[in-house]
Every structure is written in structure tokens, then in C-alpha cells.
């Protein structure tokens, strides 16, 4: 009998809070030390916010696809070109992206092409749903940052 009461209590709690969203904030540094995103991978949940901080001179964040990682996705997002400028004296601008659909991975790349296309030299990244990857000790560190 006591066991049955415990089960009822658990069910009641999930009915009381069916839409609780625990949003988290993630930061990705853009071009802080070369043409890279740091980190290049973020594990996120629905409603999380990913903020890109443009530490380098000029970069961008443009949505792409796994199949064509250096081509813009039609109708996808783009931060526009941003950065600290060539002399690095301007403050780092930032641009934020809210994850409105965590069920699909989000791929992005830098569309800057000077002196070489940044995408083809490795300036790509992606956002994965937190539950799409197996449990790993580093996941907590990434998600908690
Ligand atoms: Cu770039």
C-alpha cells in the first residue's frame, strides 16, 4: 500500500510542473585566438541561449547544414560581420541565439574570406541537444558554463 502512494506522488509532481524549462546560458568565443569558435560544440536544451562573443577582428556566425557546412542555409540565421576591428581596440561585440527547436542540431560557420575562407580552414561549430550525446564527464562542464 505504501508503495502505491509513492507512485501516485511522483505522477502528481509531473502533472504540476509539465512545462518547467530550465534555461541555461552558453558562451562561444569567436576568433579569440585564430579563426575558430571556442568551444566549437555546445550542448543545449530548448530555450537555452547561446551568446557569441566576437573577440577577433572580423568574423560572423551563419547557419549551415551538416551536408553543406560552408554554405548558408536558406532562411537560416546570420549574425552579420562583427569583431574588435583590425587594431583590436574596440570592445568585443556579442550576438545571441535562443534555441527554439532543440530537436535538430544547429550547424554554423564563419563566412569571412580574408585572407582565406575561414570555414574551409576549420571555423565551423554546432549546437546539439543535450540528450543527443551519450553521458560523458565533460558534458556537465560544457553545459554548466
Ligand atoms: Cu571567421
Q: Please report, for the chain, the start and end positions of each structural domain, with discontinuous segments joined by +.
A: 23-144
C-alpha cell at 105: 542540431
Q: What would the DSSP string read from start to end of 86-135? A: TTS-SPPPEEEEE-S-TTS-EEEE----SSS-TTTTT-EEEEEEGGGS--
Residue 104 Cα, ligand 1 centroid: separation in angstroms? 24
How many angstroms is it from 42 CA to the middle of ligand 1?
18
pTM of the predicted model as reported, rounded to 2 decimal places: 0.75
How much distance in Å is there from the Cα of 25 to the middle of ligand 1?
22
Q: What CATH architecture is 23-144?
A: Sandwich (2.60)
Q: What is the pLDDT of residues 38-78, one digit of tens each?
A: 999 999 998 999 999 999 999 999 999 999 999 999 999 99
Amino acid at each position: 500500500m505504501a508503495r502505491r502512494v509513492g507512485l501516485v506522488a511522483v505522477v502528481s509532481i509531473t502533472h504540476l510542473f509539465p512545462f518547467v524549462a530550465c534555461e541555461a546560458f552558453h558562451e562561444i568565443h569567436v576568433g579569440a585566438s585564430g579563426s575558430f569558435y571556442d568551444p566549437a560544440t555546445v550542448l543545449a536544451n530548448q530555450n537555452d541561449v547561446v551568446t557569441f562573443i566576437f573577440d577577433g577582428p572580423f568574423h560572423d556566425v551563419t547557419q549551415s547544414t551538416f551536408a553543406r557546412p560552408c554554405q548558408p542555409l536558406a532562411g537560416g540565421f546570420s549574425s552579420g560581420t562583427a569583431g574588435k576591428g583590425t587594431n583590436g581596440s574596440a570592445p568585443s561585440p556579442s550576438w545571441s541565439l535562443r534555441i527554439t527547436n532543440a530537436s535538430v542540431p544547429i550547424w554554423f560557420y564563419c563566412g569571412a574570406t580574408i585572407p582565406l575562407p575561414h570555414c574551409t580552414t576549420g571555423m565551423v561549430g554546432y549546437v546539439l541537444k543535450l540528450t543527443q550525446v551519450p553521458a560523458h564527464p565533460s558534458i556537465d562542464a560544457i553545459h554548466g558554463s
